[in-house]
Amino acid sequence: MIDVLTNRLPRGEKLVSLSGALALTLGLVSCGPANIPSDINDPNEIANRRTHEFNKSLDRALGGGSDSQTSAMDDSEALDGDEDALSAAPVELDAAAGEVSPLLIAVANFGTNLDTPRKIVNSLLQVRPGDAAHNTLRFGINSTIGVFGIMDVARAAGLPEVDTDFGETLHVWGVPEGHYQELPIVGPSTQRDTAGRTVDFVMNPLWYVFPWPQNLVANGFTWAEEATDRIRYGETVNSILYESEDSYAQSRLIYLQNRRFEMSRGDLAENDESLDLFEEFYGD
């Protein structure tokens, strides 16, 4: 990625740019990861609830839930016990499998494989060379034996994906979580994760490897997994959105709880070896 950004510089300037970028990254990492909060920071809850209702309406229009299912609480009310629940172990959501066609699974696998270089870049920015090497090996196996990633041969061989993003990179660099946000279409987020999503979108190597408009098509494949996850975990998602007493508070709780668990993966691994990997809100 750094080479892509500096490929028009003279050789000497490339070396200076590369060394400067590496020094900046190491300097940011040396500051240590950000503290993981234990409370809910949601000063814009009223606006977030409006966005949540818009997202539910859109989800319902696309076939989610049922018209007869509605939230029972007023928008100004919140689910009791959120802050206490945040200090507990992450919520494990049942993967109530829906019917996903083999074609959609193949498309999702292909998109996930195309998205792997972005995750490798983030692991390098986090100074986690082991994770970068792991995903690089996965990428090589799935791109060849797995026929361009259509089949996830690496997972079957015992090499599951190490998922990461620029939101986690910012956490490693010491950027605080910020306010909770609910984004249109995207759903639950935080200020840090929203910034991370934006950077991930811009820095994805697919934009620079392929010419226009092939790069747009390539990136489109990387978003296909979201659609298959909504089908695969449809029963669980419907339960949260349409059967919870307060779907906004419930989805906020689950997102923050699981996201903070992801951010503290190193500390939790050292302090509690009994913790297993868990299912995320919309996938594994």
pLDDT for position 219: 80
Flag the least confident range among 6-10, 128-132, 136-140: 6-10
Q: Residues 184, 50: contact at Cβ < 8 Å?
A: no
- Whether 13 has a pLDDT exceeding 80, the answer reads no
Stretch (H or E) spanning 224 = helix 224-232
**Amino acid letter at 265?**
R
Domain ranges of the chain: 2-271
List pLDDT tens digits, range 80-137. Answer: 455 566 655 565 555 545 567 888 889 889 999 999 999 999 999 999 999 999 999 9
pLDDT digits (tens, 9 = 90+) for 178-213: 999 999 999 999 999 999 999 998 888 888 888 888
Structure confidence at residue 126 (pLDDT): 96
Find the length of the chain: 284
Predicted local confidence at residue 102, as pLDDT:
86
Q: Where is 259: in which H helix or E strand?
A: helix 247-263
